Amino acid sequence: MTQDSRAADATRAAVDACRRDLPSPIRPPEAVLGFDGFVDTVRRVVDERHDPESFEPMTELGAFGERIAASADEESSITVEWTRDGTRTGGHTCHVARALIGFGASPTMIGAYGDPERDVFADEFGDARRYSFGEPNYTEAVEFDDGKLLVTETGATRTLDWETLVDAVGIETLATHLDGADLFGVGYWVVVPDLPSVLTGLREQVWPTLDDPPETVLVDPGDVRQLADEVLDAGIEPLRRFAAVAPVTLSANRAEMTHLADTLGATPDSLTAAATTVKDGLDLRRAVAHAADASVVAGPEGTASVTVPRVEDPAMTTSAGDHFNVGLALGLSAGLSDPAAVCLGNAAAGVFVRTGEPPTETALREFLDGYIDAVDA
């Protein structure tokens, strides 16, 4: 059997398991989400403008880089026109909460939503419990068909530590919301450099008080390549110790997972090897890596790879990873096998990338029904 045929069989098995075992209706997890908060402005770069109303967008991130490099080689400034495709709340807490609310959840959100809270968060998440510890981050999300450029101005997340969190929320309040929750989502380390102190505080002062701790702790570190080496190195042991008391699933994209594996001293030759290195090196319940061609998991059931249906004309790529996490969390909370949960993550991201909207149950099931045909196309 060839490698391609093994990948096809594994993908088909994951899709079949997901379609068979996904409950109807899908019950969203009782969730606590922290600790970021963004206001995102989505942009498109103009490649060629025809008239005041129409233009050709630049579709390739590499082409944008080449244009900048060419200008630098000529020792010349460069002017770039872009358009605004909308402003929305973003980040781990908002994207995951928005999708879960669509399934009927009432999550608890802890993040940087403003002091006082900005109307954009209060208006959208009025039915969720929210705690804000300071000013949000602001991101210009420049979309291309093959990637994105995110330019961020960080807010209060930059200085968040355990003491700040306790002052804003309180240990008893944290424990009250976490006790009995199904899901605890944490993101992103890259905008919360002192996240390890938060994890240490949770491990030492909150987790021992919980009678019914979350069954899934989903950690999305974000683009850890942006963290200084000393910050990343110092955070490894606190994350490992937290994973010793909490069932941590770490979810990252290809570049992030590979960088974490490198930090742990490995030089993986595949995405599966990188995820395995991170799982074993941090003593995680599982490590999940999502990419444009396949998503992989290294967990208690072993390793698996699930092919991702490609999309030629994406409506939105910014926050595709967050929507993958939504599907993954729904799957894990529903008791799906690891490959089936990863398949549901691929489906949730696939729906979002194609429509620009969070997935509904109908959209997820329709995507799953056509999954194999889309992979084979």
Q: What is the pTM of this model?
A: 0.90
Tell me which architecture the domain covering 3-42+88-376 has in CATH: 3-Layer(aba) Sandwich (3.40)
Span between the terminal Cα atoms of the chain, in Å: 21
E-only strand ranges, 197-334: 216-220, 248-253, 286-290, 294-299, 302-307
d(CA 51, CA 69): 27
**What string of pLDDT tens digits covers the 377 residues of the chain?**
566 778 899 999 999 999 999 999 999 999 999 999 999 898 999 999 999 889 999 999 999 999 999 999 999 999 999 999 888 899 999 999 999 999 999 999 999 999 999 999 999 999 899 999 999 999 898 988 888 898 989 899 999 999 999 999 999 999 999 999 999 999 999 999 999 999 999 999 999 999 999 999 999 999 999 999 999 999 999 999 999 999 999 999 999 999 999 999 999 999 999 999 999 999 999 999 999 999 999 999 899 999 999 888 888 887 899 999 999 999 999 999 999 999 999 999 999 999 999 999 999 999 999 999 999 87
Per-residue pLDDT, 323: 97
Instruction: Map out the domains of the chain as residue ranges.
Output: 3-42+88-376
Residue 2's pLDDT is what? 63
Q: 57 pairs with which residues across the strands?
A: 46
Residue 9 is predicted with a pLDDT of: 92
E strand or H helix that includes residue 323: helix 320-333
Would residue 188 be called left, alpha or beta, if left means φ above 0 and alpha means ψ between -120 and 50 degrees?
Answer: beta
For helices 338-355 and 361-369, give the axis angle rounded to 10 degrees.
110
